[in-house]
Amino acid sequence: MSTLYIAGRWRTAASGETREITCPADGAVAVTVDEGGAADARDAVRAAREAFDVGPWPRTPAPERAALLSRIADRLERELDEVARLESLDTGKRHVEARIDMEDIVAVFRHFASLAQAEAGRVVDAGVPDVSSRVVTEPVGVCSLITPWNFPLLQTAWKVAPALAAGNTFVLKPSELTPQTSIWLVRALAEEGLPDGVANLVLGPGDTVGAAMTNAPEVDLVSFTGGLATGKTIMAAASTTVKKIALELGGKNPNVIFADADRDAAIDNALTAIFLDSGQVCSAGSRLVVEESIHDEVVDELVRRATAIRMGGPFDESAETGPLISDGHRAKVEAYVAAGIEEGAVLRCGGERPGGELAIGSYYPPTILDGCTSDMSCVQDESFGPVLTVETFAGDTRDAAEDAAIAIANDTIYGLTGAVWTQDAGRAERMARRLRHGTVWINDFHPYVPAAEWGGMKQSGIGRELGTAGLHEYQETKHIWHNTRPAPAGWFANPQD
């Protein structure tokens, strides 16, 4: 089966290379795909350029673009179980979690289908007679869409749906570790009638395929979700031809619990905040910031509950969480924990690979590092694994306690998400406004809706996905001034007069 899709044709890599995709739960080969290279990426960019410049898609009426997105949503609903299975095989995540991701993706396509038709520009008052002045939106052009491995199809949908809604063409490169659901999506788009060249898929490594997609002068916009270091590389590459960029680069997200919080809810959600999907979530609540007076009670209970979390493969119904994406990633998480302990953090649970039947996969247990302070690398760096760091705050007065919590919660180069747990409504509002993070939850952690913007402050990224801003990322704004009664400007003297 050929797995690169360029200019409306499925083909193999120019080099003839292939890659085996293995399931991190047991190392079994899930599928073999074509391993593209820079030459394939350049072909795909040219195809997307041509489809944008001459093709019908950018000028296709919005209702037709919306209808196509709706058909993708319908199709995913019908094939949800199978697509979730592909996602589980690539990522090792539990099938039940992958199914939830798929339901979210359906909602994302429906959201952008309705937005595609909602905005047709606006008329502005020119301030002079006989002039029609209006502002219209147009597609940005050729988009390079580069996605990571933790929520492969979800993150792809956040980019593909608005890109198509706005009338762009694109080249998509999923993570080299998790290509199967992107192949499904591009196949579905083609079968649902998307014109040739609008959607192009190139599989392969970031430093060849991804680099070619960010360096190509024909590309107008790069939208990337992934690590901070790669984000910086992409930003620099994009600057050579001043491409537009949208970056989502992860976070180090504080979960602040005040002593007046609903204790059971706060503790239970603190577990989900960090250990869901084995912590491989950009918005994970990896940094617990707890009021000193309740530290022992909260952390003892977290340790008891974390130790009981059952790990297992995607189709093991008794499992509550799965493996990490790869042995290589696990080694990074292990080094991160070792550095934390070296710096003085106290390992309260986890921290050791499981044995027995789990020894075959890339498993790493829920881990809690207590006694942390803001200056430790384990507090500042993203582990992207199931590792919770614990810091405490205290204050003699109400305001002093809030100031102390905020000082810790904002002491990070990132700014993606944060949460505050308190039963004091005024405190909740004050904290929500002071947290320098793009999403703030009050007495909750993790939920999102496609209608609300998602993205980060500071080094968590540039731009927003979802919401209405998520569509605007893929649109140019153009002002059209139409003088209906043309006349000489009369500014410069005409010597013949």
* Site residues (vs ligand TXE, CB under 6 A): 146-150, 173, 175-176, 205-207, 210-211, 214, 225-227, 230, 233-234, 248-250, 282, 332, 382, 384
Residue 112 C-beta: closest distance to ligand TXE, Å? 20
Nearer to ligand TXE among residue 161 and residue 282 (C-beta): 282
Tokens of 38: 């820079």
- The structure tokens 């107008």 sit at 220
Residue 102 C-beta: closest distance to ligand TXE, Å? 18
Residue 248 is a catalytic residue: yes
Closest by CA to 91, choosing from 154, 162, 185, 12, is 154
Residue 253 C-beta: closest distance to ligand TXE, Å? 11
Nearer to ligand TXE among residue 68 and residue 376 (C-beta): 376
Nearer to ligand TXE among residue 258 and residue 441 (C-beta): 441
DSSP 390-403: EEEE--SSHHHHHH
In a 3-state reduction of DSSP, which class is residue 466?
Answer: coil
Burial pattern 467-482, b for ≥16 Cβ within 10 A else e, equals: bebbbbbbbeeeeeee
Question: Which one of the listed residues 35, 176, 248, 382 is annotated catalytic?
Answer: 248
- How are beta strands 221-225 and 244-248 bridged, if at all? parallel
Residue 274 C-beta: closest distance to ligand TXE, Å? 14
For residue 365, CA distances in Å to 63, 379, 456 come to: 48, 18, 28
Q: How far apart are the two ends of the chain, measured CA to CA in Å?
A: 75
Alpha-carbon span 487 to 163, nearest angstrom: 40
Nearer to ligand TXE among residue 181 and residue 230 (C-beta): 230
Question: Which one of the listed residues 282, 349, 372, 378 is annotated catalytic?
Answer: 282
Alpha-carbon span 203 to 177, nearest angstrom: 10
Asked whether the beta carbons of 165 and 115 are under 8 A apart, the reply is yes
Nearer to ligand TXE among residue 335 and residue 451 (C-beta): 335
Asked whether the beta carbons of 13 and 37 are under 8 A apart, the reply is yes
Strand partners, 389: 287, 369
Residue 17 C-beta: closest distance to ligand TXE, Å? 15
Residue 202 C-beta: closest distance to ligand TXE, Å? 11
Nearer to ligand TXE among residue 421 and residue 454 (C-beta): 454
Residue 465 is a catalytic residue: no
Alpha-carbon span 189 to 158, nearest angstrom: 15
Q: Which residues are part of the catalytic machinery?
A: 248, 282
